[in-house]
Amino acid sequence: MSRRSARWLKYLIAIIVGNLVYFAIERYLPTAAQHHSFRPDLGTVVDLWVCVAVYGLLELVTNRFKRKQKI
């Protein structure tokens, strides 16, 4: 798999898993942090943050795995 394909796969996984996590915890968030359909709101920002956090975790895990492969 090329580097570009691997990067896009990580993006896709981060978006899907991030949205699953966000919508699983959405009902426990304050009303202001909940997403309202078809309009920008704070919930969209929180959803984006969760996706970025998942992407960061993916990068951390893959980098750790690559380092162990080199040793």
Task: DSSP for 1-69, please give it.
Answer: --HHHHHHHHHHHHHHHHHHHHHHHGGGS-GGGS--TTS--HHHHHHHHHHHHHHHHHHHHHHHHHHHH
Domain ranges of the chain: 3-70
pLDDT along the chain (71 residues), means of 10: 91 97 95 86 94 96 83 63
Please tell me the predicted confidence (pLDDT) of residue 50.
Answer: 97
Please tell me the predicted confidence (pLDDT) of residue 66.
Answer: 81
Residues 6+ apart with CB under 8 A from 25: none
Whether the model clears a pTM of 0.75, i.e. scores above it, the answer is yes
Give residue for tokens 């991030």.
18
Q: How far apart are CA 71 and CA 65, in angstroms?
A: 10
Please tell me the predicted confidence (pLDDT) of residue 20.
Answer: 97
